Amino acid sequence: MAFKRLGYSDRVMVIIIYILLILLSFTALYPFWNTLVVSLNEGLDTAKGGITFWPREFTWTNYEIVFTNDRILQSFGISILRTVIGTVSAIFMTALLAYGMSKSYLMGRKFLTIFFIFTLYFGGGLVPTFLLIKSLGLMNNFLVFIIPGLISVWNMIIFRTFFKSLPNGLEESAQIDGCSNWGVFIRIVLPLSGPVIATLSLFTAISHWNDWFTPTIYITNQDLMPVQTILRRILNANLINDVIGGGDSLASEKLSKKSLTSKSLISATVMVVSLPIILVYPFVQTYFVNGVMVGSLKE
Amino acid sequence: MPQATVKEPDAKNTADYKPIHQRNAFQRWWKQIDIQLMVWPGAILIFVFAYIPMYGVLTGFMDYNIFTGARIFDNPWVGFKHFEAFFSAPQFVTIMRNTLAISLMKFFIGFPAPIILALMLNEIRGRFFKRTVQTITYLPYFMSWVIVGSMVMSLLSTENGSVNMLLQGVGAIDEPINFLSMREYFWGILVTTNVWKDIGFNSIIYLAAISGVNPSLYEAAEIDGATRFKQMYLITIPTIMPIIIIFMILQMGSLLNAGFEDILILAQNPSLRPVSDVIDTYVFRVGLQNQRYDYGVAVGLFRAVVSIVLLTMANYLARRSGNSLW
């Protein structure tokens, strides 16, 4: 519908909507842009203030410090490791469970369905879970990032709904050709589930990458801290030297000169931590959108 | 077709062959052991990480001693002592007020916001503009609360934070305001940040519902001379009403869910506690950080029981309205 054909009141409404949407987009984008600009600005200069849309004294120094800091690099490695291992293993285990649950002849299926769904309504809560993790010896253990999250009941339901919608004939013909149920799952069902696997993997990977809370209660060993938790401690202490300076004499030397100027350094760290998501985001946006649609599927 | 592909070709001829429905339960179970083996690892994991903590809630009725470890029945039973302690604690009223106030504010502002965004996006005919706005507004949803928190702190900072600069620039204030340490601003900041983070992503579901509206309805309305606003009001909104209602009902089920990560991140200043303490953060602070495990369990259990009642009610209502989550 062309703008010219609209009546007077409609034109006013459309103009107001455009203005509101532009304002909203601006507020959504500005914090990211401002963080980027501050991270590219010289630290001492940032402290003088007034950095909004464009760097005043452009420099890569903040990123150099971040990328040469052992503490941050190590935590970055932990984050990548837990995201990759955690996502692959969780998606496989959940899909496997869902495939079994999609078989109508599975004995105990009714019981198991209630068994799983009940956990969506009721949980033991933070403290009993903490005591359990502790008694399992998962404190200060990398596996605490992986094992408790292997099964997601929500994702199981989504997978199961999808598996049920696959044509039966495919599986039957594979079985006639001598394929076992496991063979069918690995050779037929998984390859056919590409879009669902991609969508659920993305959401799982993001929740792994973004998780800063689990380590604050289960991890005290510095070497096992993922980058989000390190960042949170930097923000909390408000003195970047305390957290990342230890054990790295070069960085602490550089830092002690600029202890007042940590804002640019913090911004650089924030950018580095959010960059993986910002970079992949435009390419996988359709999957994100799919995710909402898949998630709203009913059983 | 070769003989070998037919299942159990020889068994049928032996005397003890029975059709599958006549065998006993274990035989039938053993026959599908391959499928059972797919299900049981998951079931065991859920048992360990979801059901054992449920058994752990019994410590809420005991005086728990950390040295008893997993043998929780070595601890003495104390009945509802910890529950009574919570209900009569000086913070109880504050915590309940904060929990309800924050979650209601999140509901009344955060729930309609994505619907309004979806309705506005629906009025945009330019595909490029619409897609750009969508891409930008979805982005914050995927950032962790640590990132979001750092941006909020930076924007609201008294040392040249953009918000203070803007307010000083237009002459609204003379001195920079330390927003994140003042109680009167905390709820506003919390709710705004939540809306900012989730508005785009939550609008997707409503946009999808709107795209299901029959276009001929709009054409007919246009011929009858309805303005765009009237079309929105009389066609779009009534059509997506069922989805709005179901989401609204389900939201009500999480009334005690005032937030956790967002409050931990944004309310770092302890002086904010009188307005920022909600049940979940209280359980975390007192139960875990101060190691009053039994008390923390009891408070957590109180919240879980109220939540399950609310959720069941919400789901019942949703079912009656013709939609169900499960």
> Is this complex scored with an ipTM above 0.90?
no
Residues from chain A contacting residue B48 (CB–CB below 8 Å): 132, 136
Q: What are phi and psi for residue B7, nearest 5 degrees?
A: -70, 135
- Cα distance between residue A136 and residue B48, in whole Å: 10
Question: In this structure, is residue B64 part of a structural domain?
Answer: no
**What length does chain B have?**
326
pLDDT (tens digit per residue) in A138-168:
999 999 999 999 999 999 998 998 888 888 8
Q: What are phi and psi for residue B303, nearest 5 degrees?
A: -65, -45
Residues from chain A contacting residue B70 (CB–CB below 8 Å): 135
Q: What percent of chain A has pLDDT over 90?
A: 33
CA angle B121, B200, A153 (to 5 degrees): 130
Question: In this structure, is residue B30 part of a structural domain?
Answer: no
- Cα distance between residue A207 and residue A194, in whole Å: 20
Question: In this structure, is residue B58 part of a structural domain?
Answer: no
| β-sheet bridge partners, residue A41 | A58
> Based on the structure, what is the number of domains in chain B?
1
Question: In this structure, is residue B171 part of a structural domain?
Answer: yes
**Average pLDDT over chain B, rounded to whole?**
85
pLDDT (tens digit per residue) in B23-61:
687 888 888 888 889 999 999 999 999 999 988 888 888
Which of A34, A177, A293 is closest, CB to CB, to B162? A34
Predicted TM-score of the model (pTM)? 0.85
- Cα distance between residue A189 and residue A182, in whole Å: 10
Q: Which residue type is seen at B251?
A: Q
**Average pLDDT over chain A, rounded to whole?**
83
Question: In this structure, is residue B304 part of a structural domain?
Answer: yes
- State the pLDDT at residue A292: 62
Residues from chain A contacting residue B29 (CB–CB below 8 Å): 107
Asked whether residue A242 carries a pLDDT value surpassing 60, the answer given is: no
> Do residues B144 and B264 touch, judged by C-beta distance below 8 A?
no
- Cα distance between residue A205 and residue A152, in whole Å: 13
Question: How far does the CA of residue B18 sit from the closest CA of chain A (Å)?
Answer: 18
Token pair 């970047």 is found at A240
Domain CATH for B302: 1.10.3720.10
Distances (CA, A) of B256 to A120, A201, B282: 16, 30, 13
Question: In this structure, is residue B62 part of a structural domain?
Answer: no
Q: Which residue type is seen at A77?
A: G
Asked whether residue B5 carries a pLDDT value surpassing 60, the answer given is: no
Asked whether residue B126 carries a pLDDT value surpassing 50, the answer given is: yes
Q: Which residue type is seen at B293?
A: Y
Chain A contacts in chain B segment 151-210 (CB below 8 A): 151-155, 157, 159-160, 162, 165, 196, 199-201, 204-205, 208
Looking at residues A72-90, what average pLDDT do you find? 94
Which of A31, A51, A124 is closest, CB to CB, to B57? A124
Question: In this structure, is residue B38 part of a structural domain?
Answer: no
- Choose among B256, B263, B243: nearest CA to B304: B256
Q: Is the dihedral of CA A179, A181, A185, A188 positive or negative?
A: positive
**Least confident among A149-158, B98-107, B304-313:** B304-313
Question: How far does the CA of residue A41 sit from the closest CA of chain B (Å)?
Answer: 14
B67 in contact with chain A, both atoms CB, cutoff 8 A: no
> Do residues A221 and A152 touch, judged by C-beta distance below 8 A?
no
Q: Look at A25 and B326 and tell me if their CB atoms are within 8 Å.
A: no
Q: Look at B324 and A298 and tell me if their CB atoms are within 8 Å.
A: yes
Question: In this structure, is residue B11 part of a structural domain?
Answer: no
- Choose among A62, A44, A147, A211: nearest CA to B41: A147
Higher pLDDT, A255 or B165: B165
- State the pLDDT at residue B100: 93
B11 in contact with chain A, both atoms CB, cutoff 8 A: no
Secondary structure letter of residue A179 according to DSSP: -
Give the residue numbers spanning the domain of B254.
Answer: 85-319
pLDDT (tens digit per residue) in B211-220:
888 888 888 8
Asked whether residue B71 carries a pLDDT value surpassing 90, the answer given is: no
- State the pLDDT at residue A10: 82
> Do residues B266 and B244 touch, judged by C-beta distance below 8 A?
no
Higher pLDDT, A255 or B222: B222
Q: Is the dihedral of CA B189, B194, B200, B206 positive or negative?
A: negative
Asked whether residue A127 carries a pLDDT value surpassing 80, the answer given is: yes
Other CB atoms within a 10 A radius of the CB of residue A249 amount to: 9
Asked whether residue A99 carries a pLDDT value surpassing 60, the answer given is: yes
